Every structure is written in structure tokens, then in C-alpha cells.
A and B are shown apart, each in its own frame.
Chain A
Amino acid sequence: MFNLFLLQLLNGAQFGILLFLVAAGLTLVFGIMDFINIAHGVLYMVGGYVMAMMMGTTGNFWLSLALVLPVTLAVGLVLELLVFRRLYDRSHLDQVLATFGLVLVLSELVKIFWGSAPLSVAMPEMLSGSVPLAGPMRYPVYRIAVIGVGLSVAIGLWFVIARTRVGMLLRAGAANRSMVSALGTDINRLFMLVFAAGAMLAGFAGAIVSPILSVDPGMGDSILILTFVVIVIGGVGSVKGAFYAALLVGIVDTLGRMFGPILLRLVMEPAAAAQAGRTIAPMLVYILMAAVLFWRPAGLFGRKVSQ
């Protein structure tokens, strides 16, 4: 049982890492620009589809993955120029409405171009095996790679934010936007950069998950809600908070999903236990969010809001 627990912990960590890649961009956009972007999940979906398309043309996993980055970066830049730039000064409600409209338009476009049937992306040969973990249990190499890549991205982001001039401006922007602007920094350029980088990270997450999950038009919607939970728990605007919160949410969700029914099965019918477990597991994440908000209203690593 302990081995199984460790394995599920790994599964939770892998899910958390994925959430982090999507959440990192969203928390910066939300924190620095005070901008609610419902369409962030769509960028994750676009990453998956671009990956599937590139795999179809090039047949090479690494080349396709490398091509996803500039393409999703470009998609982010274009969206910022055409749509988001016009919304920064509007109310949150306008932002939600406009970006939700964008979700509908982009999802429909994806259906027109690629159809509604799920697409699949082949896994690179060298990562397709599994390694023995404990006893009969094995862990897929690819998922280990996802964890590794996610951690490297996290470290890279930490370096950029904590050790570079751009990072300093980002931190300053998150703390006090108008002061940064008053000190002579082109805040619009900074916003564009943050936005495009966030789009690229989300697209990257969609691309690396595509060999595990099939790519379908609903994939962005399913991850978006948990991503918002992550940034609220972590503290809006804090990448460090998003990292810890993503791991926490991933692990709580996976462990709750798997061990909830096992515990309940001791006292209930399997179908009823599964049903109850399935109902309680997604709730655990929200209970966690409520608890964090109760004791730390600004999130785990959020700054005190003084308004």
C-alpha cells in the first residue's frame, strides 16, 4: 500500500507540474495586468493541436515540440495586439465576456480545421517505455520526463524573475503598476512580453501532454478551472505560489481520487463508494482553496492587498 501511495504521489506531482505550466502565465497576467483571461485554457488546447499538426507534417517529436514554442508565442502576440490590448482598461466583467467569446470562437475554429474526433500524437521512441518502481509497479518514462521538464521550467522562471532586470520589472509591476510606469518603463511592452510568454508556456503544456492524452476541442476547458484554483491558492501574481499550489492541488486531487474510494469501500458498495469518492475528490481541492482563503486571504504567497 505504501508503494502504491508513492506511485500515486508521483502521479499527483506530474499532474501538478502540468497545472503549473498553465498557471504560471495566467498568474502573471492576472497579477501584473489585473487582467482576467478566460481564454488561457484555449492556448493550452492550441498547443496540443499545433503539436498534432506538426507531428503530422514533420513526423519528428522534438522538431514539432520546438516548433510549437514560436507558433504559440506568435498566437499569444497576435491575440494581445488584436484583442487583449483593448481590454486592459475595461472592467473585469468586460474582460470575462470578451475572453469567453474568444474561447467560443477559437474552439469552433479548431473544430472546423481539425474536426471533433480526438487526435493522437505518437510518443518519441526513447521515452515510450516504463521503469520499474517497486514490486510489479512501473512508472512511464514519459511522465518522469514531464516532471523533469516542468521542474526545469520552474527553475528557469525563478531565475528570470529573481535574477534578471525583466524579472525585477515584473515583480515591481505586480506590486505597483503605476509606479513602474511612472519610473519610465514601457508597461505596454512589458505586458505584451508577459502575455506572449504565458501563452507559450500554456501551449508548451498542451504539446507535452498530447502523447499522454488525446487532443480534443474540450481539453482547454477542463484544465482552466483548476488553473484558477491554483493561482488563487498560490496568491495572484506569484509564480512561486503557483508552483507550490499546483503541486498541492495535483497531489490532493490524485490522492483523493484514488484513496477516497478505497477508504469508502470499507463501508459502502463499490459503485456507491466510487460515486461518493468521485464527488468528494473534486471537492477536496475547493475545500483546500476555501481553507487557504480563510487563513490567508491573499493566498499562500500573495502580497497583502491594500485597497
Chain B
Amino acid sequence: MRYLAVSTALGLAMTSAAFAEDPVKIGVLLTLSGPPAVLGEHARDGILLAEKALEGKIGGRDVELVIVDDEGKPDIAAQKARELVEGQGADFVVGPIFSNIMTAIAGPVTSAGGILVSPNAGPSNFAGKDCNPDIFVVSYQNDQMPQVLAQHMNQQGIANVYLIAPNYQAGQDSLNGFKALYSGTVAGELYVPLGQLDFSGELAQIAASQPEAVYAFMPGGMGVNLVKQWNQAGLSSIPLMSAFTVDETTLPAEQDAALGMLTGSNWAPDLDTPGNAEFVTAFKEAYGRVPSLYAMGGYDAMMLIDSAVTAAGTEDREALRTALKAADFPSLRGELSFSSNNFPIQDFYLTKAIKDDEGFYRTSVVEKVFTQAADSHVGECPMN
């Protein structure tokens, strides 16, 4: 079976070498079902919008998108990633949303000769010891978002903080990333089971401890419930600062309960960069909602691939890698380049939830917190 797969891959490599004007095939692997489906839908819509903006061409060649749902399950994701690259002959795979999926698909994609471009997930191991010349993370490294809040709290002189996250790898990473930079005292840490929706017990603990601020990592529906219950429990006097908890995917449900809450991001809809306003307008027109950083990540991933294929084509792998690494594309975030580990060097911002003039709930830039920051794991990456 393995020989068969290898020979198929070789065969495909030869055919694509033989016909340089074949369409560029891009597999899109996102979580499109279950409670966190909305994150994947945003990324997918960003990718489709980029395809439309590029008029269906990548590097001047027709593009063929194959969109698959990983169902949020690593085993299914690995199987579908393998099928995309080995079965369908995808040159690139854009995905995933979740870090645990990334771990599952990195091997299947790269070992079969595909290039993985992540529009969102950026787990620390791929920034450090497991960095790979065929993996490009166009989004951020997971630690960086919580560190925006940690830096802000340090600047504000917030002396003690309570931390809350779901009890799984990304939750622990988020709190560890925060603690690595935060200089005050951690009053307490709460880990809740993934999927818990009633936080009455946890909110009582926080109320009893009366910290100066709370840092939360509570993605998707959990975040919606935490934010809604926060004010109900009378905690509005304590600032709730978060990452991946208050954004354009959760704000439609959180609405007024989240207004004014601070969050960390590498982008916001009103970020003043070339092309960003046009992107936001086009997205709103096409899909009737404000794009999130997931949509931005999907869009930028496609633009990165287009720039590299334009410069180097798809046959010469080494030239393609070099072209990708040059990051010679107009990112919606403005200035962006890649570190030696293929993770981005970019600006990070403190953002705030607002209701804009058109009545949309969205995030808005408050201030720049990090300028052209690289992640902290790059030193552990053997690629240099």
C-alpha cells in the first residue's frame, strides 16, 4: 500500500512537471461541523473571497479548490489530509483551525509532498523543534495572542490576575504563554472541562478572590457563555481580558455583554492597512457578516500561495519554498515577513469589542502592543 502511495505521488509529481499549465490544486481542510464550525466557515469564506479577488487564478494558472471538513477530529483530519495530497494530488493544503488537528495532518501532508499553509493554528512545537521547510504558518504562534494581554497588563501595572481556560493542550499553552511574560502575581488558575457552558461556580471563585483583572482563553460557544454570565454575576467591575473569546465569530451572540472587553489580535476589521477596508467591505457584501481573524488568515494564506507560485511555479520545490518564505504578498496586516521557522514576524494589537455605526458588533484597534515581533520558539528550530 505504501509503495503504491509513493509511486502514485511520484507519478503525480511527474505529470505536474510535464504539464506546467495544469491547474494549481489547493486542498482546504477546516473544521466545518460541530459547535466550532463557525470558525472554519469564516476561514473558508476568506479563502473563497481571495479566490474571487484573484479571479480564479493562482500564479496565472487556474486554481482548483477542494474543501473538506475535518469534523474537529484528528484521526479523520489525518485521513482526509492524506487523501487530499495522495489521492487528489493537491500541491498545497490550507488548514487547519485547531492546533490538535495541525499535529495530526502535518505528517500526512508533508511526507506525501504537499505544502501545508496554516491560516490559523500555530502550535509551539512546529515553531520550535518540529519546524518543517514545507509548513508555513501565516497566522501567528499560539503564545503570542495571550502575551499581548500580558504585556498590556504589565504596562497598566495590574498586580494580580486570575486565569481561566479549558483543560486541554491549547488552553494550557495559552495560560503558560501568558504567564511567561506577565510580571505580576497569578491569583489563581481555573481549568474547566472542554465544552462546559455554565460558569457559575468559577465566577463565584473569581468574585471571592477579587483579582485586579482576569485573563481568559475560551474559544467558541464557551466564550459566549462566559461573557454572558460575566455581567450577570455582577463581575463587570473586574476587567475580563481574553484571547479568542471575543471576536467576530462570537460577538454576534455575545452582543452588548462583550462591549468594551479587551482582546489581543494581529488584525482587526478597522486596521488601517492597504486593502483591508476593501477586504472587509467585500466580505460583508458577500457573506453578510463582519470578517474575523480566521477569515483574514484564510485570505492571506491564498495571497501568499499566489505570490509564491507567480514567482517560482510549482515544479522546483526549493525555489517554491524560497518564494513562500519571501512572503512577497500584500498582507491585510501590512508589514509581514517569515522567521527562519516559517512563522510570521508581525505587529500585534490590543483590540476592543465595539458596536459600529452600521450596527455590527466587531473588534476595533486600541493600540499597537508589539512591533514586528517574532515568536519565542524560533531559537529551537533547527532550520536556519
Most B Cβ at <10 Å: residue of A4, A15, A129: A4
Of A120, A129, A271, the contact of B172 (CB 8 Å cutoff): A271
Is B373 engaged at the interface, CB distance under 8 Å to the other chain? no
CA distance A1 to B208 in the complex (A): 8
- Are A136 and B253 in contact (CB-based, < 8 A)? no
Is B382 engaged at the interface, CB distance under 8 Å to the other chain? no
Is A227 engaged at the interface, CB distance under 8 Å to the other chain? no
Please provide the chain A residues from 4 to 29 with a CB less than 8 Å away from any CB of chain B in the complex.
4, 7-8, 11, 14-15
- Are A274 and B233 in contact (CB-based, < 8 A)? no
- Are A137 and B204 in contact (CB-based, < 8 A)? yes
A132 to chain B, nearest CB (A): 8
* Range for the number of chain A residues in contact with chain B: 35 or more
Q: Which residues of A contact B189 (CB under 8 A)?
A: 270-271, 274
CA distance A219 to B197 in the complex (A): 9
- Are A137 and B207 in contact (CB-based, < 8 A)? yes
Q: Given known contacts A258-B202, A275-B191, what 20 new A-B pairs fall within 8 Å (CB)? A: A4-B204, A11-B201, A14-B200, A116-B33, A116-B35, A116-B37, A117-B37, A117-B38, A120-B224, A120-B228, A136-B207, A136-B210, A139-B233, A214-B197, A254-B201, A257-B201, A270-B189, A274-B167, A278-B191, A278-B193
- Are B253 and A214 in contact (CB-based, < 8 A)? yes
- Are B167 and A138 in contact (CB-based, < 8 A)? no
Query: When each residue 29-41 of chain A gets 1 if its CB lies under 8 Å from chain B and 0 otherwise, what string results?
Result: 0000000000000
- Are A258 and B201 in contact (CB-based, < 8 A)? yes
**Given A11-B200, A11-B204, A258-B205, residue A212 in contact with residue B34 (CB < 8 A):** no
**Given A4-B204, A7-B204, A140-B233, residue A214 in contact with residue B37 (CB < 8 A):** no
- Are B198 and A15 in contact (CB-based, < 8 A)? yes
Query: When each residue 16-55 of chain B gets 1 if its CB lies under 8 Å from chain A and 0 otherwise, what string results?
Result: 0000000000000000011101100000000000000000
Q: Which residues of A contact B235 (CB under 8 A)?
A: 138
Is B313 engaged at the interface, CB distance under 8 Å to the other chain? no
Q: Which residues of B contact A211 (CB under 8 A)?
A: 228
Q: Which residues of A contact B225 (CB under 8 A)?
A: 212-214
Query: When each residue 212-230 of chain A gets 1 if its CB lies under 8 Å from chain B and 0 otherwise, what string results?
Result: 1110101100100000000
Is B190 engaged at the interface, CB distance under 8 Å to the other chain? yes
Which residues does B use to contact A, with CB under 8 Å?
33-35, 37-38, 167, 172, 188-193, 195, 197-198, 200-202, 204-205, 207-208, 210, 221, 224-225, 228-229, 232-235, 253-255
Closest to A130 in B: B234
- Are A118 and B34 in contact (CB-based, < 8 A)? no
- Are A140 and B232 in contact (CB-based, < 8 A)? yes
Is A55 engaged at the interface, CB distance under 8 Å to the other chain? no
- Are B35 and A218 in contact (CB-based, < 8 A)? yes
- Are A214 and B204 in contact (CB-based, < 8 A)? no
Is A244 engaged at the interface, CB distance under 8 Å to the other chain? no
- Are A274 and B201 in contact (CB-based, < 8 A)? no
Q: Which residues of B contact A258 (CB under 8 A)?
A: 201-202, 204-205
CA distance A154 to B34 in the complex (A): 35
Is A128 engaged at the interface, CB distance under 8 Å to the other chain? yes
